[in-house]
Amino acid sequence: MSLLSLLKKLFLSIMMQIRPSKDRYLRLLDWREKHIKQRQFILILSFLVGIGAAGAAFVLKSFIHLIHTVVINLSDHEINFWYLAFPAVGILIASLFVRYVVKDDISHGVTKILYAISQHKSIIKLHNTWSSIVASSITIGFGGSVGAEAPIVLTGSAIGSNLGRIFKMDQRTLMLLAGCGAAGAIGGIFKAPIAGVAFTLEVLLLDLTMTSIVPLLIASITATALSYFLTGNEAMFRFETHDPFVLERIPYIILLGIICGLVSLYFTRGMNKLEQLFKKVGNAYIKIIIGGVALSLLIFLMPPLYGEGYDTIAALLSGETDKVFNQSLWYDYRHTVWGVILFFVALILFKIVASAATNGAGGTGGIFAPSLFVGCLTGYVVALLLNEMGFLIPIRNFAFAGMAGLMSGVMHAPLTGTFLIAELTGGYDLFMTLMITTVISYLTIIIFEPHSLYAMRLAQKGELLTHHKDRAVLTLLKMDNVIETDLETIYPDMTLGELVKVISRSNRNVYPVVNRSNNRLVGVLPLDEVRNIMFRPELYQRFTVRKLMVVPPAKINVHLTMEKVMDVFERTGAWNLPVVGDNGEYLGFVSKSKIFNSYRHVLVHFSEE
């Protein structure tokens, strides 16, 4: 028997083994459709997504803690010189892992979810169910000054999206399951189920309907319950307030909210500008060197910038300010108020530099933890300054409120900031303080920045799905779905007689005129332009298309967003417009009627209860 025959027999035997599994899979899908209604099945999937998100959160936090413990225990010196090496090493390893193993961009996790929802039919790549866990645990464990929350939110959403794809769910359901993954991730990592739902509704921009709210609650509650089971009942920052809310402090809380909004503006614009600077560096290894050296030096000079910063937050909230100065060159200034204030202001200013250097150099992490870190310090500094001026302000209350205010401002999510901090403390004693701070912070930053740090990159490209129903539907519409390509093309040198033959076999009333050589659009010929002469044979050789064609009122570039396309239609008053590529080549026509039909289909599809 020849080698070819052996290979053929082996292939056929393998296929015979694979086919039954495919058949079983198809039978499973068929059984599910017959016995489990769509709505009930979505609830089951949301429960499974919650379990997966909580498990992923537990694995990520465990990996970070393991690496962090090993690194910290390597030095017991008063000043830890390992800080000059390990952060850069972590960035290098994480960057090489992403570059040569993942081979895909996994930074900006929440932005990637927004892009998937807005532009990619809520499809998130399968590797995102694990790649962010590995890369971010290495980055943060070695000292990267970013948070684990955005990577785990991306992981949770990827679990939801891919689980939905396994069971062949439609786009609207995939969007909901991706949101369930995000809600479960926040609920699992923070033990904050309400914050998980609020984050999904505010930041991922899902609509609040009964169809969406119940699965989100199931995923978030399931993830939170499993997190309690795996890590215990303690809240992340246990806080029993001894300073209840009083009306006399409202002016100072409003002041804190304004300051948080302005610091959020600095955080958002500063982070964005620094990331743009890193993008201009073409060589990946030069980025690693620049970012690694900058991060290591900052952490050596200011050790609280190491990692997520939750140890610093815990120390401040427990009144152990001395711990913040440990292994620091600033240690001798810990007992003077102005020394503490100056050190904390320096931490606030340079935290975004450390975070941007981490991500810009190739590390993987998010801005959840940095925003909480900066917010806690901001509230602490404001309270210290007010106390120095003679006002009796509860420092810990303001530190908590500052965390909520920064999160509200940076993410444009006042509900998420309020509920997250309330749930992190294990109670709602500070609820009024948190609400006032978050709302004022949001109202302050919205004057300057209409979009959050997550959304601004997509908003600039017109690729962001928003709560504005009209814009959301236009964002979901794609040019590929509305281009009409069944129009007969004609050429400038064609005679009227040749044109009449084209008209006789066409059912359209407009004809694109293109060059024969390069298919570039040179004009259009509406049927009305020739209606009065098309039945006069004596003119068939006298007129050419070049004499009869007109310039279209506008040309639509194929890459324009649908919102801008509609702006062009409104400006020109046209009903049909040609679509061209970047080099002017003719691609088709787009009409208002086709857009309106597609618009209504998308609106009905995504508004069904």
Query: For the packed helices 171-190 and 592-607, what is the interaxial angle rounded to 10 degrees?
Result: 50
Structure confidence at residue 605 (pLDDT): 52
The residue ranking higher by pLDDT, 79 or 287, is: 287
Q: Which bin fits 438, alpha (ψ -120 to 50), beta or left (φ > 0)?
A: alpha
Question: Which of the residue ranges 19-33, 309-323, 409-423, 456-470 would you say has the lowest mean pLDDT?
Answer: 456-470
Distances (CA, A) of 24 to 16, 19, 45, 238: 13, 9, 20, 50
Contact 296, 88 (CB under 8 A): yes
The two three-digit tokens of residue 99, written as one number: 């570059």
The residue ranking higher by pLDDT, 206 or 168, is: 168
Express each pLDDT in 113-152 by its tens digit.
877 776 667 788 888 889 999 999 999 988 888 988 889 9
**What CA dihedral angle connects 23, 28, 30 and 34, to 10 degrees?**
160
Number of helical H runs and strand E runs in the chain? 24, 5
Express each pLDDT in 250-285 by its tens digit.
999 999 999 999 999 999 999 989 988 988 887 888
Of the CA atoms within 13 Å of residue 155, those in its CB half-sphere come to: 33
- CB-based burial, 371-396: b 16+ in 10 Å, e otherwise: bbbbbbbbbbbbbbebeeeeeebbbb
Q: In which band, very low, low, confident or very high, does the pLDDT at 502 lie, cut at 50, 70 and 90?
A: confident
Contact 465, 205 (CB under 8 A): yes
Structure confidence at residue 49 (pLDDT): 94
Question: Which of the residue ranges 307-311, 319-323, 430-434 would you say has the lowest mean pLDDT?
Answer: 319-323
**Nearest of 202, 214, 173 to residue 110 by alpha carbon:** 202
User: What is the C-alpha separation between 21 and 348, in angstroms, rounded?
Assistant: 56
Task: Please say if the pLDDT value at position 37 is more than 50.
Answer: yes
Residues in Cβ contact with 369 at an 8 Å cutoff, skipping those fewer than 6 apart: 146, 147, 148, 149, 308, 309, 310
Contact 565, 475 (CB under 8 A): no
Domains and CATH numbers, the chain: 35-231 (1.10.3080.10), 247-467 (1.10.3080.10), 472-607 (3.10.580.10)
Instruction: Work out the average pLDDT over 33-45.
Output: 85
Contact 307, 144 (CB under 8 A): yes
pTM, entire model: 0.76
Express each pLDDT in 144-179 by its tens digit.
889 888 899 999 999 999 998 888 888 788 888 999
User: What is the C-alpha separation between 201 and 184, in angstroms, rounded?
Assistant: 13
Instruction: Give the Cα-Cα-Cα angle 338, 340, 341 (nearest 5 degrees).
Output: 60
Q: In which band, very low, low, confident or very high, does the pLDDT at 325 lie, cut at 50, 70 and 90?
A: confident
- CB-based burial, 463-492: b 16+ in 10 Å, e otherwise: bbbeeeeebbbbbbbebeebbeeebeebbb
Structure confidence at residue 215 (pLDDT): 92
**Nearest of 587, 600, 574, 588 to residue 474 by alpha carbon:** 600
User: What is the C-alpha separation between 528 and 493, in angstroms, rounded?
Assistant: 19
**To the nearest whole percent, how much of the chain has pLDDT over 90?**
26
Contact 586, 520 (CB under 8 A): yes
Tell me the pLDDT of the chain averaged across its residues: 82
